[in-house]
Structure 1
Amino acid sequence: MNDRLSALRLFVRAARVGNFSRAGRELGLSQPSASRLIAALEEEIGATLFNRTTRAVTLTEAGATYLMRVEAILALIDDADHEARGTGELRGSLRVGTPISFGLREIVPRLPAFMKQHPALKIELRLTDRYPDLVTEGLDVSFQFGPLPDSSATARKILHQARILSASPRYLRERGTPTMPSDLAHHVVIISPAHPSPTFSFRKDGRVTSVRVDSPLSITTNEVATASAVAGLGIAASSESSAQTELEAGQLVRVLPDWDFGSMELNALFVSGKTIKPAARAFTDFLLKELRAPY
């Protein structure tokens, strides 16, 4: 039974990533062992599940149908195991995706309490400021700010955070403090994932004001953009929590605080049509409670 379950889990991962070696590594198997396990599964059920080439493996028509059934079955098995234990303790693995700043500042400090509750659960935290592909990267849940790029994902809203602009006191002393959005055109405004567009829009007294900036500095991670603002390189956009520590320490100062710069919605994303893994559901519930708890 364990061999069959292992083969089914390997089949699902290989189908999602298109590679036996990568799927095998994720499950602690060598490439030859992974290939043998899949071949044995195909022989046992009497169908070819994959088209194999030197570069990748793709599902056959039979494999695609089998995948839909097997994923649902494995999710039910995980749920059944979890309920049967009756202790609420989670086991197995949990792959979590998160933007870098949110992961460092909000998730990591809260992980010890969650891991203490579930010592048998293995957690893989994948931090990136690009939107991950939940399917190919095998994520059980991904926490993301902003508009949802993948309409096929199932989203659960966690919270809203204000989007802000901030700069170091030194930068503002040297370059002056903007008092109107139009002043940003004469400042170094750091482009980052928190606001990748060169057009900045603000609302005040029911009116919208927009300004386009020509930035000499573009950074691919929000955490580094915040650090760059602290270093005096310019004005950075971020969610409120991404700069909270620096604001409280006086390393950064809000810029245009009287203007509404909009908000960023945080969502937990799950693969659409796939039963949510108990560990992913439990971790999302845990984080939701933690983030909404008063300080």
Structure 2
Amino acid sequence: MNDRLSTLRLFVRAARVGNFSSAGRELGLSQPSASRLIATLEEEVGARLFSRTTRAVTLTEAGATYLMRVEAILAALDEADHEARGTGELRGSLRVGTSSSFVLREIIPRLPAFLKQHATLKIELVANDRYQDLVTEGIDVAFRFGPLPDSSAMARKIIHLPRILMASPDYLRERGTPTTPSDLAHHSVIIGPAHPSPTFSFRKDGRVTSVRVDSQLAITINEGATASAVAGLGIAASSENSARAELAAGQLVRVLPDWDFGSMEVNALFVGGKTIKPAARAFADFLLRELRPPRRELARFSGPPESVSVRPNQ
């Protein structure tokens, strides 16, 4: 392994994992060989790309800029190879970033069908309830919730997920069932990522009603908010999809079902400049087809998927 292209792939892996040994091992290299190749690359580039310590390596400012350019080049090469094959076969690796709830509830159940179509593709799911930095964490495609700020990166609108309120039957028996939004002021409302603000707004018959709720419990992961509602700790907000199983099992029931509580926009966010990795584009298209509502329900959502501009590190 001594060609420039292979060295660039090694550089990208080292930047992603923060370790020459791990990156080299993935590519069949010893740690000394990986370190030597990176040092040679730095000499050829004429800049120090990594800061080195005994425990890890981190990108320098020049290295971070170089990574963005190199990943765009490698993505363009992958695209060329993909088109040349003409078979639709996806190869290599795909790194997907999203929330823990979305990966558990929506991605993993659908993953067998996608992997069956692309048996030579390797997927790494990076799941947590904070926004991953797409560049420094090497995310090829990330799924984001809510409106996205303007920037130069590309995103694909996947779907709008209706937002609902829900509580356990035991909680509602003990505390009563709200019939209007103003009733929420007398309930314990769980604050979670689906609605982090204590002010809740509803729409009905063309009128907007807002209420400020009291919260004894706040939690940063959506699965935790759902579990807390099941445990009878209060009323929680979530997307309808994220609580489908608990609602079907009767562990949770909808609260204020006749009031429109809005929806959460889901976007697929890409890195790599104007060149999107073929596997990233294919996976976003796959989820779009899987999650798109039946034609009779399309009027509930705000139009077809579209490209928008967003920040690459959000």
Corresponding position of 2:156:
156
Corresponding position of 1:231:
231
The amino acid of 1:9's aligned partner reads R
The Cα shift of 1:7 comes to: 1.2
* Root mean square deviation of aligned Cα: 2.7
CA–CA distance in structure 2, aligned partners of residues 131 and 165 of structure 1: 24
Instruction: Tell me, yes or no, if structure 1 residue 261 matches structure 2 residue 232.
Output: no
CA–CA distance in structure 2, aligned partners of residues 67 and 285 of structure 1: 26
The 10-residue stretch of structure 1 (198-207 or 156-165) with the greater mean CA deviation from structure 2: 198-207
Residues 52 and 128 (structure 1), Cα distance of their counterparts in 2 relative to 1, 3 Å cut: closer
The Cα shift of 1:194 comes to: 0.6
Instruction: Tell me, yes or no, if structure 1 residue 169 matches structure 2 residue 175.
Output: no
CA–CA distance in structure 2, aligned partners of residues 153 and 65 of structure 1: 15
Instruction: Tell me, yes or no, if structure 1 residue 48 matches structure 2 residue 47.
Output: yes
CA–CA distance in structure 2, aligned partners of residues 25 and 261 of structure 1: 50
The amino acid of 1:137's aligned partner reads E
Residues 183 and 27 (structure 1), Cα distance of their counterparts in 2 relative to 1, 3 Å cut: farther
Corresponding position of 2:124:
124
The Cα shift of 1:84 comes to: 2.5
Per-residue deviation, residues 182-227 of structure 1 (Å, max 9, x unmatched): 2111111111111111111112222222211221111121112112
Residues 250 and 13 (structure 1), Cα distance of their counterparts in 2 relative to 1, 3 Å cut: same
Corresponding position of 1:138:
138
Residues 227 and 150 (structure 1), Cα distance of their counterparts in 2 relative to 1, 3 Å cut: farther
Instruction: Tell me, yes or no, if structure 1 residue 187 matches structure 2 residue 187.
Output: yes
Corresponding position of 1:11:
11
TM-score, length of structure 1 as denominator length: 0.88
Contact persistence 2:68–2:135 (CA under 8 A): no
Instruction: Tell me, yes or no, if structure 1 residue 276 matches structure 2 residue 276.
Output: yes
Aligned residue for 2:10, secondary structure, equals: helix
Corresponding position of 2:307:
none
The Cα shift of 1:86 comes to: 2.4
Residues 105 and 191 (structure 1), Cα distance of their counterparts in 2 relative to 1, 3 Å cut: same
Contact persistence 1:48–1:60 (CA under 8 A): no
The amino acid of 1:189's aligned partner reads V
- Which runs of 5 or more structure 1 residues have no equivalent in the other structure? none
Corresponding position of 1:249:
249
Contact persistence 1:15–1:59 (CA under 8 A): no
CA–CA distance in structure 1, aligned partners of residues 65 and 188 of structure 2: 54
The amino acid of 2:277's aligned partner reads K
Instruction: Tell me, yes or no, if structure 1 residue 71 matches structure 2 residue 71.
Output: yes
Contact persistence 1:96–1:123 (CA under 8 A): yes
CA–CA distance in structure 1, aligned partners of residues 94 and 61 of structure 2: 28
The Cα shift of 1:25 comes to: 6.8
The 10-residue stretch of structure 1 (67-76 or 16-25) with the greater mean CA deviation from structure 2: 16-25
Contact persistence 2:140–2:271 (CA under 8 A): yes
Percent of residue pairs bearing the same amino acid type: 80
Residues 188 and 25 (structure 1), Cα distance of their counterparts in 2 relative to 1, 3 Å cut: farther
Per-residue deviation, residues 224-266 of structure 1 (Å, max 9, x unmatched): 2112211211111001101112212222111111111111101
The amino acid of 1:244's aligned partner reads R
Higher RCO, Cα 8 Å, sep 6+: 2
Residues 254 and 27 (structure 1), Cα distance of their counterparts in 2 relative to 1, 3 Å cut: farther
Contact persistence 1:71–1:274 (CA under 8 A): no
Contact persistence 2:72–2:272 (CA under 8 A): no
Residues 69 and 202 (structure 1), Cα distance of their counterparts in 2 relative to 1, 3 Å cut: closer
The amino acid of 2:46's aligned partner reads A
CA–CA distance in structure 1, aligned partners of residues 187 and 292 of structure 2: 36
The amino acid of 2:288's aligned partner reads L
The 10-residue stretch of structure 1 (34-43 or 116-125) with the greater mean CA deviation from structure 2: 34-43
Number of aligned pairs? 293
The amino acid of 2:237's aligned partner reads A
The Cα shift of 1:66 comes to: 5.0
Contact persistence 1:160–1:265 (CA under 8 A): yes
Corresponding position of 2:209:
209
CA–CA distance in structure 2, aligned partners of residues 213 and 68 of structure 1: 44
Corresponding position of 1:89:
89
Aligned residue for 1:243, secondary structure, equals: helix
CA–CA distance in structure 1, aligned partners of residues 130 and 269 of structure 2: 14
Per-residue deviation, residues 96-116 of structure 1 (Å, max 9, x unmatched): 112122211111111101101
